[in-house]
Amino acid sequence: MAWDCGWACVVALLLGAVALLRLALRWVRADGDLTLLWAEWRGRRPEKELPGKVVWVTGASSGIGEELAYQLAKIGALLALSARRQDELERVKKRCLEISSLSENDILVLRLDLTERSSHEAATKAVLQHFGRIDILVNNGGRSQRSLFVDTSVDVYNAIMELNYLGTISLTKHVLNHMIERKKGKIVTVSSVMGIMGAPLATGYCASKHALQGFFNSLRPELWEYPGIVITNICPGPVQSKIIHNVFTEELTKSLEKPGDQSHKMSTDRCVRLTLVSIVNDLKEAWISDNPYLAVCYLWQYAPTWAWWLLGRIGKKRIQNFKRGVDADASYYQKVAA
Ligand SMILES: NC(=O)c1ccc[n+]([C@@H]2O[C@H](COP(=O)([O-])OP(=O)(O)OC[C@H]3O[C@@H](n4cnc5c(N)ncnc54)[C@H](OP(=O)(O)O)[C@@H]3O)[C@@H](O)[C@H]2O)c1
């Protein structure tokens, strides 16, 4: 009898160890925070919630915004697509029509420069005139940065804040007026993991995304009388897109000479899928990232002293990568020649 009990304990321990190992492996491979992955598993599905919804996407001419347009079109959402390059938006619209059952009138191409704030009211009216309502605004347009603070002109900092922060809140203000009248709507902002943590080479970009996080986390409780209006902040880690080709550098007129290979980053379609899951499940904040950035988000939130230590090590590697002319996030594990 004692012998049987002993074996039962050994088997239970082994099964427990295997379960823990599987959990650890799943955690290493996780590409979203726990609430988000739970919502993806058990929550509401974009295919059920989004057909017929009017979604206005800024920055729809490339990268994450372009992929958002394709996934939303396939699901049957009605789209307003905005960015500065009208020809690129027309290309995206054409592809949306090819891959979905939407018709010409279901997709509005609307040129918009986020930094031209005086045009935002008319743009909002144009979307309302076309569709009669805006169910979801996705504030996605923006640019990142690759330059050290000591080398960078203050004009660059001004331009980053004008685009990523002021441009976004200006458009939000006009759309929010309409949502308040209807007492419903969703305002989704593509922030970044850099809206949570710091990162060298991106001081201005981090500041603009922290500003957005602070702004929207403060706006949400101001809207307590309107429980039908939902504010969602999306925080992606590195994702494949044109972002590095379009970054701000030391001077406004200078572009990045060597963007480097981007293939090691999270796929655009996975990032967008998790973004749609976050939207339909009314998540207030979603971290969408591979490790080690996801782990740093958790540390930053729950154990900042360790996060600062880790970022010191990762940050040194980022700067070394940047100086070698490869993508700053290319690898944290390879040795760099001195
Ligand atoms: N990719 C990443 O690793 C990553 C990670 C975290 C967060 N994000 C955020 O994701 C969002 C989308 O970036 P992405 O990665 O998809 O980069 P992207 O491929 O460079 O796309 C950026 C989009 O923003 C638009 N844009 C730039 N300046 C604009 C302006 N003045 N007015 C209006 N639109 C403007 C661009 O269109 P036009 O040039 O035609 O105007 C383009 O459609 C950004 O907010 C970025 O900060 C990206």
Residues 218 and 220: their CA atoms lie apart, in Å, by 5
Residues 287 and 193: their CA atoms lie apart, in Å, by 7
Q: Beta strand 229-236 with 185-190: parallel, antiparallel or unpaired?
A: parallel
Is residue 281 in a domain?
A: yes
The edge-to-edge listing of strands for the beta sheet with 54-58 is: 107-111, 78-83, 54-58, 136-139, 185-190, 229-236, 285-288
Total Cβ atoms within 10 A of residue 98:
10
Residues 297 and 75: their CA atoms lie apart, in Å, by 31
Is residue 11 in a domain?
A: no
CB-CB contact of 156 with 145 (8 Å): yes
User: Would you state the pLDDT for residue 170?
Assistant: 98
Residue 15: its H or E element: helix 2-28
Q: How far is CA 207 from the centre of its chain?
A: 15
Is residue 178 in a domain?
A: yes
Q: Domain range for residue 58? A: 30-290
Give the residue, by CA position, lying nearest to ligand 1 atom 41.
84
Catalytic machinery residues: 205
- For ligand 1, the distance from its centroid to the CA atom of residue 272, given in whole angstroms, is 13
83 phi/psi in degrees, rounded to 5: 180, -175
Extract the tokens encoding 40: 């993806």
197 phi/psi in degrees, rounded to 5: -110, 175
Residues 302 and 160: their CA atoms lie apart, in Å, by 29
User: Would you state the pLDDT for residue 334?
Assistant: 55
The enclosing domain of 153 has a CATH number of 3.40.50.720
User: Would you state the pLDDT for residue 316?
Assistant: 92
Tell me the C-alpha to C-alpha distance, in Å, between residue 262 and each of 101, 146, 179, 329: 32, 14, 38, 9
Residues 111 and 125: their CA atoms lie apart, in Å, by 13
User: Would you state the pLDDT for residue 25?
Assistant: 66
244 phi/psi in degrees, rounded to 5: -75, -30
pTM for this prediction: 0.93
User: Would you state the pLDDT for residue 223?
Assistant: 98
Dihedral (CA of 293, 330, 247, 200) sign: positive
Is residue 337 in a domain?
A: no
Residues 47 and 264: their CA atoms lie apart, in Å, by 29
CB-CB contact of 322 with 328 (8 Å): yes
Tell me the C-alpha to C-alpha distance, in Å, between residue 174 and each of 39, 121, 145, 220: 30, 6, 28, 16
Residue 241 near ligand 1, beta carbon < 6 Å = yes
User: Would you state the pLDDT for residue 259?
Assistant: 83
Residue 91 near ligand 1, beta carbon < 6 Å = no
- For ligand 1, the distance from its centroid to the CA atom of residue 70, given in whole angstroms, is 16
Is residue 1 in a domain?
A: no
User: Would you state the pLDDT for residue 330?
Assistant: 78
Is residue 91 in a domain?
A: yes
User: Would you state the pLDDT for residue 29?
Assistant: 75
Residues 281 and 273: their CA atoms lie apart, in Å, by 12
- For ligand 1, the distance from its centroid to the CA atom of residue 63, given in whole angstroms, is 7
Is residue 119 in a domain?
A: yes
Is residue 229 in a domain?
A: yes
Residue 78 DSSP SS3: strand
62 phi/psi in degrees, rounded to 5: -165, 160
Residues 33 and 290: their CA atoms lie apart, in Å, by 10
Q: At what angle do helices 203-222 and 168-182 cross, to 10 degrees?
A: 20
Residue 22 near ligand 1, beta carbon < 6 Å = no
Give the residue, by CA position, lying nearest to ligand 1 atom 20.
243
Residue 114 near ligand 1, beta carbon < 6 Å = yes
Tell me the C-alpha to C-alpha distance, in Å, between residue 122 and each of 128, 176, 236: 10, 14, 30
Structural domain count of the chain: 1
CB-CB contact of 143 with 193 (8 Å): no
- For ligand 1, the distance from its centroid to the CA atom of residue 66, given in whole angstroms, is 10
Q: What is the pLDDT along the chain (338 residues), one digit of tens a residue?
A: 566 788 888 889 988 888 887 777 666 679 999 999 999 999 999 999 999 999 999 999 999 999 999 999 999 999 999 999 999 999 999 999 999 999 999 999 999 999 999 999 999 999 999 999 999 999 999 999 999 999 999 999 999 999 999 999 999 999 999 999 999 999 999 999 999 999 999 999 999 999 999 999 999 999 999 999 999 999 999 999 999 999 999 999 999 988 888 888 999 999 999 999 999 999 999 999 999 889 999 999 999 999 999 889 889 999 998 888 888 887 765 554 44
